[in-house]
Amino acid sequence: MDNKIIAFAGKGGVGKTSLSALTVKLLVEKFKDKKILAIDADPAVGLSTALGVNVTHTVNDVRLQFIDELKKPDRPSTIEILNEAHYELSDIMIDCGDFAFLAIGRPESAGCYCSINSFLKDIISELVSNFDYVVIDGEAGIEQVNRRVMEKVTDLILISDGSMKGLNVARSIDQVAKNLNMCNKSACIINRVSNPDVIEKIKADGLNIVGYIYEDQSIEMTDVEGKSLLSLDNKATAIEQLEKALKVAEVI
């Protein structure tokens, strides 16, 4: 695996999606000659909003479409259906100019369709191999990324605020990822720091802290105004501090 597959995870509400979007911004501006893919693996599909992408179809839409095909009495063979899924997934990947975008969609409905689930993940892995950098905005844990997107990522970026609950969630995700060999390495970024004095009191034992990002009102204003975070000024505090943290983590 020569490309960088960067997955963001952490407790809900700590800013994973914003930092995922800003990472895409940093990558497209820093590596203009590289191919970059953003994957929205959160059912809320928040990364699309943060990047200004209009999503009409998701991977799960494709999955449900082919499950319906399998239920038909005169259905094509499973191999034919799975081969068609390959083309469908390629079609729903959105070319945004500087990067490509793929939305996973909501969790699968009930029922065991292992051939479809496994094959779709294989196709995603194949598509990912064509990119130099892949940024995944996931749900709280990394298990759903492993189950629905990739067997393994190169860089797991844990996002937390300074709260004990946020840090405990980050620590738990980190432990699961290491126990199940889901990532090559992990790092933690403490986001939304409102008071520098708090940093010394943060109990982050066991986590590889690579940076702290202070509360940045420009992100909130960009969101309120309905703008993509790609439009955020590069001199914004959050962008400068995120870039430093990602360099320490050897992601960029």
The pLDDT score that the predictor gives to residue 110 is: 53
* Tokens of residue 170, six digits: 């980050």
Q: pLDDT tens for residues 78-122?
A: 667 667 777 888 889 999 999 999 999 876 555 555 556 677 788
* Tokens of residue 12, six digits: 């809900």
Residue in this structure with the two tokens 């909003």, named with its chain if needed: 49
CA distance 35 to 22: 16
The pLDDT score that the predictor gives to residue 2 is: 80
Do 85 and 119 contact (CB within 8 A), yes or no? yes
The pLDDT score that the predictor gives to residue 208 is: 95
Do 138 and 23 contact (CB within 8 A), yes or no? no
Bridge partners, 60 (sequence order): none
Q: pLDDT tens for residues 58-80?
A: 988 888 887 777 777 776 666 67
Q: What is the Cα 28 distance to its own chain's centre?
A: 16
Around 221, how many Cα atoms within 13 Å sit in the side-chain half-sphere? Answer: 8
E strand residue ranges, the chain: 4-9, 36-40, 94-95, 100-103, 133-137, 153-160, 183-193, 209-214
Q: What is the pTM of this model?
A: 0.91
Beta strand pairing status for 209-214 and 183-193? Answer: parallel
Q: Which CATH superfamily is domain 4-248 in?
A: P-loop containing nucleotide triphosphate hydrolases (3.40.50.300)
Residues of the chain with pLDDT under 50: none
The pLDDT score that the predictor gives to residue 196 is: 81
Do 113 and 71 contact (CB within 8 A), yes or no? no
Bridge partners, 211 (sequence order): 189
Which residues 6+ apart lie within 8 Å of 130 measured at CB? 35
Which residues 6+ apart lie within 8 Å of 226 measured at CB? none
